[in-house]
Amino acid sequence: MVNVPNIELNDGNKMPVVGFGLWKVSNDTCAEQVYNAIKTGYRLFDGACDYGNEVECGQGVARAIKEGIVKREELFLVSKLWNSFHDADQVEPITKKQLADWGIDYFDLYLIHFPISLEYVSPETRYPPGWYYDGESEVRHGKTSLESTWKAMEGLKKSGLAKSIGVSNYSGALLLDMFTYAEIKPATLQIEHHPYFVQPNLIKLAEQHKIAVTAYSSFGPLSFIECDMKVAEDTPTLLEHDIIKKAAEKHGKTPAQVLLRWATQRGLSVIPKSNSPKRLAENLDVTSFDLTSDEISQISDLDRGLKFNVPTNYGIPIYVFA
Ligand SMILES: NC(=O)C1=CN([C@@H]2O[C@H](COP(=O)(O)OP(=O)(O)OC[C@H]3O[C@@H](n4cnc5c(N)ncnc54)[C@H](OP(=O)(O)O)[C@@H]3O)[C@@H](O)[C@H]2O)C=CC1
Ligand SMILES: O=C1CO[C@H](CO)[C@@H](O)[C@@H]1O
């Protein structure tokens, strides 16, 4: 089995550098996929209230623990606070509900999913009218400040419901703002990150403050048409890019492995998702070879500020990094 190294977080906890992302993992297959991923060697699982599959994630984990494949303390289970639960008095109840869904009593890491507060509806309903595909044009934002949400997140760490706490989709400006009020600094920052969207200054800022960065969407857009990106007609996807393909050939790896290695070699953790058992195994095996410093720089030079995984591309009318 592949030996996945850990990163030490700023609170002393250790996090594997490769995990399995749980977005778009279907409810029908999720328990089986999580169970199989544990058997393959995955220990980090990146879930979220918004992915709607936390019960099934927990079922996969429970089966692996029951069969003695893994112990709870060997897993690193991550979840996220959804936008409509930002009110300080909603944070602990929804975390407890999510923990109950997973069937566990603590998260290893719990993140603020987006720096956006939406109107609270109910514990079962994540989306107020106007969010996601319902045809209304106005999103109902909440009135909670990020500061009060973070104070409640600090409460989760203090009470042990989350061993580590962090943020996702925060800009550098929002991190700097946070440092003025945070008693506990975020342990991690989860962001879109791939060679077409590198964000070197944000990563430098996180490093300066010992905040570990996790990359999501590491392969970039798999199709520019699907995510409605306006790019030059001859722009290849990253998996088809000559520079990536050449490095893959040289190291006897796949382009996907090169992209994941590029990120991990630069100190980031990665959380790819795959429905295919072959690609699942491939994605875990990304620390057993090293790219040369020239290859790393050539790949980093592909940066073109191309952020694609934004909620607006999924039918959400208004999106503000407040
Ligand atoms: N905090 C946030 O706001 C966000 C967090 N995330 C997290 O990050 C995770 C990953 O993000 P996501 O955007 O889904 O991107 P991924 O990096 O997981 O890419 C997903 C796509 O790549 C394909 N793929 C996976 N492995 C390979 C491979 N080895 N070779 C070729 N194709 C491959 C998958 O297809 P197939 O399944 O067929 O293999 C899938 O279509 C999510 O599951 C979620 O946990 C994601 C977006 C936003
Ligand atoms: O994490 C997630 C994956 O990306 C989507 C689009 O930005 C989000 O809406 C979702 O919550």
- Distance of alpha carbon 182 from alpha carbon 281, whole angstroms: 38
DSSP state letters, 134-184: SS-S---B----HHHHHHHHHHHHHHTSEEEEEEES--HHHHHHHHTT-SS
- Distance of alpha carbon 86 from alpha carbon 94, whole angstroms: 10
Pocket test for ligand 1, best of 216, 237, 308 (most atoms within 8 A of CB): 216
Beta pairing class for 6-8 and 14-16: antiparallel
For 74-105, letters b (16+ CB in 10 Å) and e give ebbbbbbbbbbbbbbebbbebbeebbebbebe
Rounded to the nearest angstrom, the distance between the alpha carbon of 311 and the centre of ligand 2 is: 6
Q: Report the chain's mean pLDDT, rounded to a whole number.
A: 93
Q: What type of residue is 311?
A: P
Nearest CA to ligand 2 atom 9: 311
Work out the average pLDDT over 297-318.
79
Whether the predicted interface score ipTM is above 0.95? yes
Q: Is the pLDDT of residue 138 over 50?
A: yes
pLDDT, tens digit, 9 for 90 and up, residues 260-296: 999 999 999 999 999 999 999 999 999 999 999 999 9
pLDDT, tens digit, 9 for 90 and up, residues 30-68: 999 999 999 999 999 999 999 999 999 999 999 999 999
Q: Is the pLDDT of residue 320 over 60?
A: no
For domain 13-313, give the fold.
TIM Barrel (3.20.20)
Indicate the domain borders of the chain.
13-313
For 30-43, letters b (16+ CB in 10 Å) and e give bbebbbbbbebbbb
Residue 111 CA: which ligand 1 atom is closest? Answer: 1
7 bridge partner residues: 15
Q: Of 51, 110, 170, 196, which one is the catalytic site residue?
A: 51
113 labeled part of a ligand binding site: yes
Rounded to the nearest angstrom, the distance between the alpha carbon of 220 and the centre of ligand 1 is: 9
Q: What is the pTM of this model?
A: 0.96
Of 112-116, 150-154, 295-299, minimum mean pLDDT range: 112-116
User: What one-character DSSP code corresponds to residue 18?
Assistant: B
Pocket test for ligand 2, best of 314, 316, 318, 320 (most atoms within 8 A of CB): 314
Nearest CA to ligand 2 atom 8: 311
Tokens of 47: 């879930």
Nearest CA to ligand 2 atom 1: 23
Residue closest to 119 by CA, chosen among 82, 154, 156: 82
Assess whether 51 carries a catalytic annotation: yes
Ligand index nearest the alpha carbon of residue 279: 1
